[in-house]
A and B are shown apart, each in its own frame.
Chain A
Amino acid sequence: MSEIPAKPPQGHIEVRNFSLSYDSIEGPVQAVADTQIHVKPGEFVSIVGPSGCGKSTLLNAVAGFLKPTTGLVSVDGERVNGPSAERGMVFQQYSLFPWKTVRENVEFGLKMRGMPRSQRERAARTLLGLAGLEAFEKHYPEKLSGGMKQRVGIVRALATGPKVLLLDEPFGALDAQTRVIMQQILTNMWQRLKISVLFVTHDIDEAIFLSDRVYCMTARPGSIKAEIPIPLERPRQQAMMMSSEFLALRRGLMSLIREESIKAMGGEITDLGMQGLNIELQGHSLADVI
């Protein structure tokens, strides 16, 4: 990709002693408690957890939209103080500008940087070509399918050459088939760009398939319950999702999440209740299962 020159390894995300709470009439409510995560330069890291566990809150804090109550968020040693083009973000709702064509959407970040029109048009065309969207550059987002919209969303976030890419359940609104294709496209792109990625999802398969490491969060107040390295070889192909290695990882992660999901739903975790849901974990530690 000629528009994004090779850089020295950068994009080291660090979240230390992080907690975030907001005020309510009953006093402060803690959304995320005492969390440490990090993403090494060029690493693909996912955060999974039950809904409402604060994984999106954490990602929004890395993006700079939320200030931590305590602790520190930094990228390459620099404290995060509000949103910036250094941290590209992809949203679940696509959030393309409906009044801009596909190409104008991709150009937006370059325009904000003051790049002259002809130059940014060329850059946007090249990027759209890489995503197989050159035929749609003049379309308005409304006319695109969900998968195409999100490809535009990813290309738009990458256009300015950010240090890190943050994705907040980007494929959550897509149908199962499109989702699988998008995962493959994303892993291919990442393989090529070697950009640091922090990826939030509740889909365990997706997290394992894409990531180098997966953080599993507890129910609210969210904190890191486990950190699981994914030693699957790269480049990743869909066929790997059938391998025994993949399935073992999946089983382990699944049981971790289920436990938290039950907590999030307010259920008691009794041996009896767990029997139906989670046979694998009984009597074993997670390490044994994996």
Chain B
Amino acid sequence: MSSNAILRHSEDSMPATTLAEAGPLPATTPPTTPPSFGTLALRWYRLNRGGLRATAIGIISLLAFLLAWHLLTTYRVVFFVRFTNVPSPLAVYASFTKAMHDPKFLMHIVLSCRRILVGFSLAAIIGVPLGLIMGRFKLVHEIVFPVAEVLRPIPAIAWVPMAIMLWPTNEQSIVFITFLGSFFPILINTLHGMSLVDPVLVRAAQCLGARERSIFREVYFPASLPHIFTGLTVGMGVAWVSLIAAEMISGQYGIGYFTWEAYSLVQYADIALGMIAIGVLGLGSSVLIRGAGQLVMPWSAR
């Protein structure tokens, strides 16, 4: 193709800069004998030194925490805070092994997860599209935003009495509380993402023949995705906070109820077990969301 030649020509005439522009070269190492295992291991170590260091320190820090906990509880330290009744890590581990074979404990966890799943999913399914539409259409924004701003500062826990009145079953009111907790962070972050969409990208799409719907799908939505995922992460955190509070107040099942019940039944080890379970579940769900974010936004992968 002759135009090919024209373009090539221009590149050939400036070899130095074009080379610099050509980005990563495919093979920088000269063809020598493959490096020994020792050299490779050393290289790998050098490249990952920072990560290894962080992992090592993290492990040490967790072990130190466990050790401190162990010492404080075995010696029943009383120094402003009273460790007299606090269960030791070993006691918690013992109740953990017992709980793993107890279908009731597993049911508490499954039920909590189900409530999170339903409440959070509803919040995402309603919050994200509403935020996108509010960001795009001024009138919708002007109508919905004042109401949202009044309701937003009310903590989900404060909704508990109202939720019990609103919904026929306890289960529904707990899901509703979870929904409310995650809804506002998701909505607000989606809106924020929409407000930051680069207008030049919208113009570029228009110049390429994109109409309103395509611009929404191809520009506004992907451009807002990073903020949508921030909203989902924050929303998931608040969803757990709200869920546990709701379960403690009005629940019959669930990990929050389990923790509160353990206190009433003087099962001190189970209190710590419930707390740790909540921590692990919260961590797990935010890891899931982060993973989903990286799947959906491969361009922002580090």
Which residues of A are at the interface with B, using a C-beta cutoff of 8 A?
Answer: 1, 63-65, 82-85, 87-89, 91, 93, 95-100, 108-109, 112-113, 129-132, 135-136, 140, 142-145, 147-148, 156-157, 160, 177-178, 180-181, 184-185, 188-189, 191-192, 238
User: In the complex the two chains form, is B207's CB within 8 Å of A189's CB?
Assistant: no
User: In the complex the two chains form, is B207's CB within 8 Å of A63's CB?
Assistant: yes
User: In the complex the two chains form, is B7's CB within 8 Å of A160's CB?
Assistant: no
> What's the least CB distance linking A81 to chain B, in Å?
12
Q: Please, how many angstroms separate the alpha-carbon atoms of A140 and B206 in the complex?
A: 21
The chain A residue sitting closest to B214, CB to CB, is A112
The chain A residue sitting closest to B10, CB to CB, is A184
Q: Please, how many angstroms separate the alpha-carbon atoms of A142 and B297 in the complex?
A: 13
Given A178-B21, A188-B10: A91 touches B203 (CB 8 Å cut-off): yes
User: In the complex the two chains form, is A130's CB within 8 Å of B3's CB?
Assistant: yes
Checking B198, B209, B299 against A142 with a beta-carbon cut-off of 8 angstroms, the contacting residue is B299
> What's the least CB distance linking B221 to chain A, in Å?
9
Residues of B within 8 A of A84 (CB): 207, 209
Checking A64, A131, A178 against B7 with a beta-carbon cut-off of 8 angstroms, the contacting residue is A131
Q: Please, how many angstroms separate the alpha-carbon atoms of A245 and B157 in the complex?
A: 79
Residues of A within 8 A of B201 (CB): 95, 97
Q: At the interface with chain A, which of B11-19, B148-156, B253-261?
A: B11-19
Contact digits for B187-221, partner A, Cβ 8 Å, 1 yes 0 no: 00000000000101101111111110010001100
Chosen A-B contacts, 16 in total, with CB atoms closer than 8 Å, are A64-B206, A65-B206, A88-B208, A89-B207, A91-B203, A95-B201, A97-B204, A98-B300, A100-B299, A109-B209, A132-B7, A135-B22, A140-B299, A178-B21, A181-B11, A181-B17
Residues of A within 8 A of B7 (CB): 130-132, 185, 188-189
Q: Which of A65, A99, A142, A189 has the most chain B CB atoms inside 10 A of its CB?
A: A99
> What's the least CB distance linking B16 to chain A, in Å?
8
User: In the complex the two chains form, is B223's CB within 8 Å of A95's CB?
Assistant: no
User: In the complex the two chains form, is A143's CB within 8 Å of B10's CB?
Assistant: no
Given A85-B209, A89-B204, A132-B11: A192 touches B18 (CB 8 Å cut-off): no
Residues of A within 8 A of B11 (CB): 132, 181, 185
B72 within 8 A of A: no
The chain B residue sitting closest to A92, CB to CB, is B200
User: In the complex the two chains form, is B206's CB within 8 Å of A83's CB?
Assistant: yes
Given A83-B206, A91-B204, A112-B214: A181 touches B10 (CB 8 Å cut-off): yes
Given A98-B299, A130-B1, A136-B23: A87 touches B207 (CB 8 Å cut-off): yes
User: In the complex the two chains form, is A85's CB within 8 Å of B299's CB?
Assistant: no
Q: Please, how many angstroms separate the alpha-carbon atoms of A99 and B293 in the complex?
A: 13
B6 within 8 A of A: yes
User: In the complex the two chains form, is A148's CB within 8 Å of B21's CB?
Assistant: yes
Residues of A within 8 A of B22 (CB): 135
User: In the complex the two chains form, is B4's CB within 8 Å of A130's CB?
Assistant: yes
Checking B2, B18, B209 against A160 with a beta-carbon cut-off of 8 angstroms, the contacting residue is B209
User: In the complex the two chains form, is A85's CB within 8 Å of B208's CB?
Assistant: yes
User: In the complex the two chains form, is A145's CB within 8 Å of B209's CB?
Assistant: no
User: In the complex the two chains form, is B222's CB within 8 Å of A97's CB?
Assistant: yes
Which residues of B are at the interface with A, using a C-beta cutoff of 8 A?
Answer: 1-4, 6-11, 13-14, 17-18, 21-23, 198, 200-201, 203-211, 214, 218-219, 222-223, 225, 297-300
User: In the complex the two chains form, is A112's CB within 8 Å of B8's CB?
Assistant: no
Q: Please, how many angstroms separate the alpha-carbon atoms of A129 and B18 in the complex?
A: 15
User: In the complex the two chains form, is B14's CB within 8 Å of A181's CB?
Assistant: yes
Q: Which of B23, B204, B218, B297 has the most chain A CB atoms inside 10 A of its CB?
A: B204
User: In the complex the two chains form, is B207's CB within 8 Å of A88's CB?
Assistant: yes
Residues of A within 8 A of B23 (CB): 136, 143-145, 148
Residues of B within 8 A of A93 (CB): 200
Residues of A within 8 A of B300 (CB): 98
Residues of B within 8 A of A112 (CB): 205, 208-211, 214
Residues of B within 8 A of A113 (CB): 209
Q: Please, how many angstroms separate the alpha-carbon atoms of A147 and B17 in the complex?
A: 10
Checking B21, B200, B209 against A91 with a beta-carbon cut-off of 8 angstroms, the contacting residue is B200
Nearest 9 CB-CB pairs, A to B?
Answer: A85-B209, A109-B208, A83-B206, A99-B222, A112-B209, A89-B207, A95-B204, A140-B299, A184-B10
Residues of A within 8 A of B222 (CB): 97, 99
Q: Please, how many angstroms separate the alpha-carbon atoms of A156 and B201 in the complex?
A: 13
Residues of A within 8 A of B200 (CB): 91, 93, 95
The chain B residue sitting closest to A65, CB to CB, is B203
Known pairs A99-B297, A99-B299, A142-B299; list 15 more (Cβ under 8 Å): A65-B203, A82-B206, A88-B208, A95-B198, A112-B214, A136-B23, A140-B299, A145-B21, A156-B208, A178-B21, A180-B14, A181-B11, A185-B11, A188-B10, A189-B6
Residues of A within 8 A of B218 (CB): 97, 108
Q: Please, how many angstroms separate the alpha-carbon atoms of A56 and B173 in the complex?
A: 57
User: In the complex the two chains form, is A85's CB within 8 Å of B17's CB?
Assistant: no
Checking A97, A99, A108, A135 against B225 with a beta-carbon cut-off of 8 angstroms, the contacting residue is A99
